[in-house]
Every structure is written in C-alpha cells, then in structure tokens.
Chain A
Amino acid sequence: MTGRGGVTTGPLPIGQFVQLVKQTVVRDPLFKNQALRGEVTQWKQYPSGHTYFSLRDQDGQMRAVIWKGRCAIDSSIKEGSEVVVLASLDLYVRRGEIQLNVERIEPVSILGELEKTKRLLVEQLRKEGELDRERLAIPLPPKHIAIITGAGSAALSDMQQLIENRWPGLRRTVIGVLVQGPRATEEIVRGLAVARKLADPVRARKRGEPPVDLVIVGRGGGSPEDLWSFNLEPVARAIIASPVPVVSAVGHESDILVSDLVADLRASTPSDAVERVVPVLPELHYFLDEYQERLTNASRRQISDNRQRLRTLHARLRVAPMAGLNRAKAQLFALTSRMKVSSNQSLSIQTTRLAQFEASLAAIHPQRVLERGYSMTQTTDGSVVSSIACIEVGQNITLNFADGSADAEIKKTHTNEGEK
C-alpha cells in the first residue's frame, strides 16, 4: 500500500492511518456543526467537568462528549431524554473511535407537542358530546370478553392469571397486538375492529359462540410516550364506535389518557380492569345460595303463618256466638239501668205535680165554703140540691153545715123573680 503522500511504501502504522481518517472526517463540512436529534443514554458527568453519553434512536447510535465549559447543559437532561445537539464529528485516535464533539445541547419537548395535540383532541371530543355520552353498562356476567393487548406481555399473563382465579374457564378471546412503537396505534384500532366483528350476533352464531359482550383494551405501565397510542384520535374513535362496552386498562398513575375519557369504564391497570368486570364466581354462587335459602325460609314461614292464622280464626269462630250473646246481655243491662234512672226522674216530677193538684183541690173543697157560713142541701138519696126546681113541698131534706147537719121538711117554695 502506498501512503497518501506517496513517500513511504509497505504497511502503514495504524496510528498514522487513524490520524489520516481523523483529518478526512474533521475536514468534511458535512460532519461539522450538524444538528442531530436522538435519545440520551449512558449519560455520565465526570468530576473533571467533561460529560460523556451516547446519542441514539431506533436505527443507530454514536458516542458523544461535551467538553468542560463548552456549553450550558439543561438540568432536565438525563438518561432517556430526547435532545437536539449541535455537534461535529471527531475521532479519538487512541481508541480509533468516532465521537461527536457537542457544541450545544437542548432538550426536546416532544411530550409538549403531544400534550398539545391531546388537548385539542379532548376539546374536539367534548364539543362533539362524546365525553358526555351515555356509557354502556358492564354485563354481569360477561359471557365473552375480548382482550386487546400485547401478546405475551406481562400485563396479559397477569390478567389471565387473575381471571382464572376469579372465574375459572370464563370465555375470552385474546387479540394480540403491538401496544408500543409506530405501529401500535394502527394495531390497536384493528384489534378493536376485530372485537366489533366478534360482537356481531349473526357472526357469533356462525362461529358457534356467544357474541363478545365486553372489550378490555390496554397494556402495562410505561413512559408517557410509550402509552401515547391511547391518546390518539384513531384509538379514541374506535373505542367510541364499539357496540359493546370497552374498558380502558392502561397502567398509569397520574395522567388521564384519552382512552380513559371515552371508554365505558376506566381502570388504572389491566389487573384493575379484571377486578372490576370479572366477578368472583364462588361469591356469585354464594349469593344465589343465600337467596335460595331466604326464599325457602320466608315462604315456609308464610305458610306456617297462614296455618296459624287459620287456627286462630277457627278458634274465634267457635266462641263468636257466645261472645255475641254476652255483648247483647251487657247492652240490655246498660239499657235497663238507663231506663231506671230516667223513669225515677219522671216519677218525682209527677209526685210534685200531684201535690200541687192536691193543694189546689183542697182550696176548693165544699167544707171550706160551709166554714164561711154557707150550707149545702141534700135530698134523702144524697144528691146535692142546686135548684128550687129539684124539690117540692112536703119533701124531706138534709141541711149540711160545717160542723153538723139538720133534717127538715119543705113547707113552701119560692122561685126568684127573673130566674124562671
């Protein structure tokens, strides 16, 4: 091999070669002051003041260094931060490693961008009334659950385990989808479309199984970016379009996802979703047994109550005539005594009135008249003579005085003038 200068021949010492490469690399304007974007990994700030890290994305990576005092470093930058750097390519000759000499570094707020689109979407959905729409009721018991989540994920095996614990053999169809990365959104939407087809009663009959009546869509926890598909419009629309209730089951602590807002039920994790929609079968059986017992006992008691009532009625029926008689007697007694009282009262009134009569009668007794000097004439047969026409000459009469009487004979009669 001939060196570039063509001065020496034979093998070139590696150090010289690396130097040559370095010169080429450093000189190339394409590699100078290039703005680059990527994720920070292996972030290490040394006491010397230099900072070393790798800048990477899903397709490649490179080592980078920020020499002491070269630029301000935002304190928010840490392992995993998305950053934009202004850097030039350099080659560390001792190791033959290419690295980036960073002149400036800035954190990228993709999350800020995403948050903005999320806010707009939520606003739009609210305007359309989708956030206030009436939610579908979770079926009890669910007869066919569709679970849309990462195939082979820890979230799925947690859910499967939990379901088996609560309701062994509960019918379910797992639709394995990608729940992270650029294809996640599309796959989740397709998964929901599959669930919608399985919820169609006609198709279900053809498949020989009950239609899907409940959908759980979710994944385990992750960074906000990892969960971002659940904040996107296609997923939100697919959830809204579901003819059967959808549970949003994404593991997260603080931020509410759009899928949570539009779903019929929001769970904080996939396991939480299972706990909310899958009842514990033995408990349901226990409730039913309890009802069975209460129903039987209460009915038995009703029947025996009825029998008791019948007995009581029978007994009362037997004594009823006697009771009537006694009541009549009592009434009669009451009437009698009331009658006595009232007749006593009228008797005494009459006695008084009688005494008054007696007194007035006494006042007009003939004796009183005789006492005043009048006399009363009677014939021999005792009748009182009140007229001269009742006697004739020669008749015997008796003259009555107050204190005695005298017998006399009529010698002559005179009739008063004008009387005849």
Chain B
Amino acid sequence: MSDEKITYTEAMHRLETIVSTLERGGMGLDETLKLYEEGADLLRLCKTELSAAEGRLHELQLDDIETELQAEEQ
C-alpha cells in the first residue's frame, strides 16, 4: 500500500458503511463481491495496525535519554 494509507479509525468507519450497506441488501453479485473484498482488506489492515502498536518499553531518566539522543546526532 502507498504512504497515504487510511488510518485505523477511517478503516473502521468504512467497514461500518460496507457492512451496513450489505446488510441493507439489494446488491448485485458484482457489487457484493467488490464490497466483501474491500471489507476483508480493511479488516486485515486494522489487524496489522493493532499489532504494529506493540513494541519495546523504555524507561529512561531525562539526562540519559538526552545523552542518547545527542550521541545519535553526532
């Protein structure tokens, strides 16, 4: 996906629209499949976003992290 991928929140909104459109019914087969595929992509994206939020836990004193950042700058 490109850099301008949609956010988790936007994805959830779009999902809600897709699901309620499908639930309202009256879609053709083509449209149904297209919506289903879009929804499945959005769900995958959301799950990726959730796992991307897990990571390292740092706990540093102000002086230490400042020193660390300064070292990086050199």
Bound-state CA distance A203–B27 (Å) is 48
- Residue A143 CB within 8 A of the other chain: yes
What's the least CB distance linking B66 to chain A, in Å? 6
B61 touches A295 (CB 8 A): no
A299 touches B22 (CB 8 A): yes
- Residue A287 CB within 8 A of the other chain: yes
Annotate A131-155 by CB proximity to B: 1 below 8 A, 0 otherwise: 0000000011111100000010000
Bound-state CA distance A291–B13 (Å) is 11
B16 closest partner in A (C-beta): A291
A292 closest partner in B (C-beta): B43
Bound-state CA distance A209–B72 (Å) is 14
B19 touches A295 (CB 8 A): yes
Interface hits, A280-323 → B, CB 8 Å: 281, 284-285, 287-288, 291-292, 294-296, 298-299, 301-303, 305-306
Bound-state CA distance A209–B56 (Å) is 9
Which residues of A sit under 8 angstroms from B35, Cβ to Cβ? 299
A194 touches B62 (CB 8 A): yes
A299 touches B50 (CB 8 A): no
**What is the predominant secondary structure among interface residues of chain B facing chain A?**
helix
Number of A-B contacts (CB under 8 A): 115
Instruction: Given the known inter-chain contacts A141-B8, A170-B53, A288-B43, please indicate yes or no for A306 contacting B32, CB distance below 8 A.
Output: yes
Which residues of A sit under 8 angstroms from B47, Cβ to Cβ? 288
B54 contact from A139, A169, A173, Cβ within 8 A: A169
Instruction: Given the known inter-chain contacts A295-B19, A295-B40, please indicate yes or no for A169 contacting B25, CB distance below 8 A.
Output: no
Which residues of B sit under 8 angstroms from A173, Cβ to Cβ? 57-60, 65
Binds B, one of A14-22, A34-42, A174-182: A174-182
Instruction: Given the known inter-chain contacts A140-B9, A295-B18, A299-B22, please indicate yes or no for A171 contacting B57, CB distance below 8 A.
Output: yes
What's the least CB distance linking A177 to chain B, in Å? 5
A191 touches B62 (CB 8 A): yes
Bound-state CA distance A172–B54 (Å) is 9
- Residue A207 CB within 8 A of the other chain: yes
Bound-state CA distance A305–B23 (Å) is 11
Interface residues on A, range: 35 or more
A194 touches B54 (CB 8 A): no
A295 touches B39 (CB 8 A): yes
- Residue B52 CB within 8 A of the other chain: yes
**What is the predominant secondary structure among interface residues of chain A facing chain B?**
helix
- Residue A190 CB within 8 A of the other chain: yes
B55 touches A285 (CB 8 A): no
What's the least CB distance linking B16 to chain A, in Å? 8
Bound-state CA distance A291–B52 (Å) is 20
- Residue A187 CB within 8 A of the other chain: yes
- Residue A210 CB within 8 A of the other chain: yes
B21 closest partner in A (C-beta): A298
Which residues of B sit under 8 angstroms from A207, Cβ to Cβ? 72
- Residue B29 CB within 8 A of the other chain: yes
What's the least CB distance linking B13 to chain A, in Å? 11
Which residues of B sit under 8 angstroms from A357, Cβ to Cβ? none
Bound-state CA distance A295–B42 (Å) is 11
- Report B's interface with A, CB cutoff 8 A: 7-9, 12, 15-16, 18-19, 22-23, 25, 27-29, 32-33, 35-36, 39-40, 43, 46-47, 49-50, 52-62, 65-66, 69, 72
- Report A's interface with B, CB cutoff 8 A: 139-144, 151, 167, 169-177, 187, 190-191, 194, 197, 203, 206-207, 209-210, 281, 284-285, 287-288, 291-292, 294-296, 298-299, 301-303, 305-306
25 A–B pairs (Cβ distance < 8 Å), ordered by A: A143-B53, A151-B59, A169-B55, A170-B53, A171-B56, A171-B57, A173-B60, A174-B58, A175-B62, A175-B65, A207-B72, A210-B55, A284-B50, A288-B50, A291-B16, A291-B39, A291-B43, A294-B19, A294-B23, A295-B36, A295-B40, A302-B27, A302-B32, A305-B25, A306-B29
